[in-house]
Structure 1
Amino acid sequence: MTSSAPRTTKQWILASKPTAAPVLSGPDATFKLQTVTLAPLKEGQLLCKVRYFSNDTGLRNFIQSTVAPERFYVPTVPIGAPMRSGVIAEVIESAMPAFKPGDLVMDFHLGTWSELVVLEGATSQPLSPLPNGLPLTHYLGAFGASGLAAYTGLKFAGGAKADDTVVISAAAGATGSMAVQIALRLMGAKRVVGIAGSDEKCAYVREVLGAHACLNYKSPTFVEDLKAATPDEVDVYFDNVGGHVLDAMLTRMKRHGTVAVCGAVSTYNSGQPMAISNWFELISMRITIRGFIMLDYMNEAPAMVAELIGAAADGKIKLQDNETVVEVGIEQQPETWMRLFSGDNQGKLITKLIV
């Protein structure tokens, strides 16, 4: 069954590719809000009302990246196309028998910044209630792309093992906060050290997430603090930020240690190439640097998500203060997303869309 009823919706499109930080207003604004008419549903598609947007730093690379589009791991967003993100949405019309109006679904990265969105049923995940009354928004964070990135980065890219010393940057963020707990409580790491951007965030990483130590990378004594916190050096570094934090970490890696690269947020809006002065450490200490994408391990995803949900139900994974939910209208979505780059959020940053 297909639908022939057109629907209109407000939708943010990419109007200009930024060379540094996205521009939110004026003639060179990165995004433009338009009212568009959605095409009728084709077989297998769903018309949905968006409830939540997933805000992720990686979306910055969807709109402009140093990587050529044909080499990027997912299709990028061309000028004039709607901005993409993960969404949780409610089905209002279905052209796929497996879904009916009222169902809640999630799409990891093919949703758009729209009030209404057409999703492919084949890539839409139906959502079931979570244990202990946990909010469904955790499907976008702890039990979604953030949790899966943390798990796959540690297990497959990093090869983390029991008794390892593991360091995690952006440790108070959506992915980092899960990586800290996965390393500690699911992988049995001997020592887990977080790195975050404020003393308050470091307190959260230690006191709530359970890290043995957490370092403020903005401190003038960061390099000395890092050395003191890793007396036995580091087996696995889970890197979310790149830049001077990665540069410092190269001096603390064990011989044959591994850096699992999840992101490089310090460079996304800089417009400048990353400067690394300790590069020869790679040769001297025979360090492995491995980039990864959690989408490569989607065949493992159901088992990993089930394990993470079970660990949260059992109290092994703490989700206290693990997400920041901002309630705004569609007009405020770009500025809400941009909060990621000023460090205003703790844990996963989610937009609850008010219509």
Structure 2
Amino acid sequence: MVQQETRQWLLVNKPLNDPVLSGPNATFKLTRTTLPDLNDDQVLLKVLYFSNDPAQRTWIQEGMDPERMYTTPVPLNAPMRSFGVCEVMESKAANLAKGSLVLASTGWSEYDVVNAGDCRPIHVSAGLSPTNFIGALGGPGLTACYGLIDRVGTTAEDAVVISGAAGATGSMAVQVAKKLIGCKKVIGIAGSDEKCRWVESLGADICVNYKSPSFKEDLKNATEGFVEVYFDNVGGEILDFMLTRVKRHGRIAACGAIAEYNRGFSSGLMNWHQIIFNRLEIKGFIITDARATGKSEDFIKVLMKGVKEGKIKIGPETETVVPTKFEDVPRTWMMLFEGRNQGKLVTQIV
């Protein structure tokens, strides 16, 4: 086998605030390298689709204490870490044939040599797309199930608010809450009237636009009588306000804080006293916890059952797949922080 050349995007400057895409202080650098020969039980992968996830931003944060992180930060001058759908181009592994599709952590690289044990084979059946396995049937779907069901024990008797409801995890949380758990009321929060209508089409009883001048009043009206559960994907001002809208002894699933990732993690919470006065329960969680405890497979079965029964939508409208030249990979990733995606944001390498 001839050694494979590949282009890679390396992390060369850790950002404190917004990542920089050009100039002398650019966050990433495009390079070219030659991959090593395959050893036994290794495969050569070609990346077809990159998963874009808000958590990636935390892995490159300047000043972050590694001992307080749930995963090892991306080192300087190493490929930006990411997961993707890949095709096996060459194989020295008995269980992975050439041409098969797998999920793997390759980083922002066109090709990569990976241990077979670090690959998860995927089999695309009728009605499914390979990208579903990094979206509805991957991390976002698992996160929605794990957070709502396992972490805060959401039941049909609960009213639930879900922020970032038009995003990958939020849109799945809406469907899990309404269609699988059967919550009595599901309230979404999204960034445009158009997105709000889409969130309502997924099952939300109402969705409010956080960019509207009347947002707080709209959300106050939607949560009249207060709610039992808040699924937080954004942090910041919306979390601060929601601390005043959760019932006494209510539960908050702390899933993400995308509003803070490019602000140096400065939340500026003013309503912390609500946690004390109303004895609120807040549970932070990471989806890798579900995988480590063996719960992820159970939730995948729950989601697949929901898809087969027509309760869970996973069509093209639940993903924003962006055909992207490799030199533009960081620009597509930045769409996450600009609110330009509906559902899961996927980079398709062309």
TM-score where L is the length of structure 1: 0.95
**Residue 347 of structure 1: aligned partner:** 343
1:288-321 deviations in Å (ceiling 9; x for gaps) = 1110011111112222112212211221012241
Give yes or no for the alignment of 1:6 onto 2:28. no
1:111-147 deviations in Å (ceiling 9; x for gaps) = 211110122321211011234x221111010000011
Question: Offset of 1:51 from its aligned partner?
Answer: 0.5
| Structure 1 residue identity aligned to 2:296 | A
**Residue 262 of structure 1: aligned partner:** 255
**Residue 323 of structure 2: aligned partner:** 327
Aligned to 1:286, the other structure's residue is in SS state coil
1:229-278 deviations in Å (ceiling 9; x for gaps) = 11231111100000010011000111111111111000111236111111
**Alignment RMSD, CA only?**
1.3
> CA contact under 8 A between 1:158 and 1:238: conserved in structure 2?
no
**Residue 158 of structure 1: aligned partner:** 152
Please, which of 173, 176, 187 is the counterpart of residue 181 of structure 2? 187
Please, which of 56, 78, 81 is the counterpart of residue 75 of structure 2? 78
Query: Residues 63-142 of structure 1: matches in 2 within 5 Å?
Result: 63-64=60-61, 67-107=64-104, 110-131=105-126, 133-142=127-136
| Structure 1 residue identity aligned to 2:244 | T
> CA contact under 8 A between 1:146 and 1:174: conserved in structure 2?
yes
Structure 1 residue runs without a partner (length 5+)? none
**Residue 308 of structure 1: aligned partner:** 303
Using a 3 Å threshold, how does the CA distance of structure 1 residues 173 and 225 change in structure 2: closer, same or farther?
Answer: same
| Structure 2 residue identity aligned to 1:9 | T
> CA contact under 8 A between 1:330 and 1:353: conserved in structure 2?
yes
| Structure 2 residue identity aligned to 1:254 | K
Aligned to 1:310, the other structure's residue is in SS state helix
1:194-225 deviations in Å (ceiling 9; x for gaps) = 0011111111111x211001111122222211
TM-score where L is the length of structure 2: 0.96
Please, which of 280, 290, 293 is the counterpart of residue 286 of structure 2? 293
C-alpha distance in 1 between matches for 2:62 and 2:168: 22
> CA contact under 8 A between 1:158 and 1:237: conserved in structure 2?
no
| Structure 1 residue identity aligned to 2:23 | G
**Residue 16 of structure 2: aligned partner:** 19
Please, which of 262, 269, 273 is the counterpart of residue 266 of structure 2? 273
C-alpha distance in 1 between matches for 2:13 and 2:113: 24
Structure 2 residue runs without a partner (length 5+)? none
Give the number of equivalent residue pairs: 347
Query: Residues 119-268 of structure 1: matches in 2 within 5 Å?
Result: 119-131=114-126, 133-206=127-200, 208-268=201-261
Percent identity reads 50
